[in-house]
């Protein structure tokens, strides 16, 4: 049987997993050779003492990591949970909590209200690429593109990727943006790259 280990959760946030003691148990936590925590989703028990492990979906990653608590709330408010759980290749530039904190005072609070869910959904989709791309793919495309490359988002418009000192930066239509922090985190339905700012599509 092929056993797959799940990549470590992001070092910027604390892993919080609740593991039940019955057959509905969904996650377990182990350590790799370097002592780093690895969260593993148990998908199917084949026989006593033997489990087949699979990667979690994007939404499962973000929902159990405290560093994405605001993003997780935003996904639920925007009613995009199904988008982040369905099969298919996605890349999400996942804003950490600090990214939401950088918004103007009370902007995040306002966006997270149910009456603003359509605008919130538009913003979140602007952080999703409907294909799987690694940091290396982006770097190569930027280098071949003369310093920047437009990436078409699930929202429909484009976000610009550029490179400075080995760091990938994302720029929105207004010229604002942030940088990728943790990259190439693999989920069962795509890649996750963490970003330290919120990019805004045109209203």
pLDDT value of position 183: 95
Tell me the residue ranges of DSSP E strands in 109-154.
128-129, 148-152
Is this prediction's pTM over 0.85?
Answer: no
pLDDT value of position 34: 42
pLDDT value of position 170: 97
CB 81 within 8 A of CB 189: no
pLDDT value of position 88: 76
Residue with tokens 């996605």: 90
CB 158 within 8 A of CB 150: yes
CA distances from 141 to 33, 136, 146, 153 (A): 34, 9, 9, 16
pLDDT value of position 23: 34
pLDDT value of position 27: 38
Domains of the chain: 69-195 (2.30.180.10)
pLDDT averaged per 10 residues in sequence order, the chain, 203 residues = 38 34 38 42 41 76 90 95 86 96 91 95 96 95 94 95 94 92 93 96 85
The pair phi, psi for residue 137, each rounded to 5°, is -60, -45
């Amino acid at each position: 049987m092929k056993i797959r280990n799940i990549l470590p959760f992001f070092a910027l946030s604390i892993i919080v997993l609740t593991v039940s003691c019955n057959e509905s148990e969904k996650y377990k936590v182990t350590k790799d050779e370097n002592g780093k925590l690895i969260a593993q989703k148990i998908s199917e028990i084949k026989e006593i003492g033997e489990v087949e492990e699979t990667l979690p979906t994007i939404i499962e990653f973000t929902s159990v990591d405290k560093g994405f608590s605001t993003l997780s709330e935003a996904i639920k408010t925007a009613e995009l949970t199904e988008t982040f759980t369905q099969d298919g290749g996605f890349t999400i530039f996942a804003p950490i909590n600090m990214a939401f904190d950088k918004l103007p005072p009370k902007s995040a609070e306002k966006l997270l209200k149910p009456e603003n869910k359509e605008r919130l959904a538009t913003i979140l989709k602007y952080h999703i690429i409907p294909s799987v791309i690694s940091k290396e793919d982006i770097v190569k495309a930027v280098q071949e593109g003369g310093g920047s490359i437009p990436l078409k988002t699930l929202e429909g418009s484009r976000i610009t990727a550029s490179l400075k000192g080995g760091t990938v930066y994302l720029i929105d239509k207004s010229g604002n943006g942030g940088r990728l922090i943790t990259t190439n985190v693999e989920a069962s339905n795509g890649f996750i790259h963490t970003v330290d700012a919120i990019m805004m599509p045109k209203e």
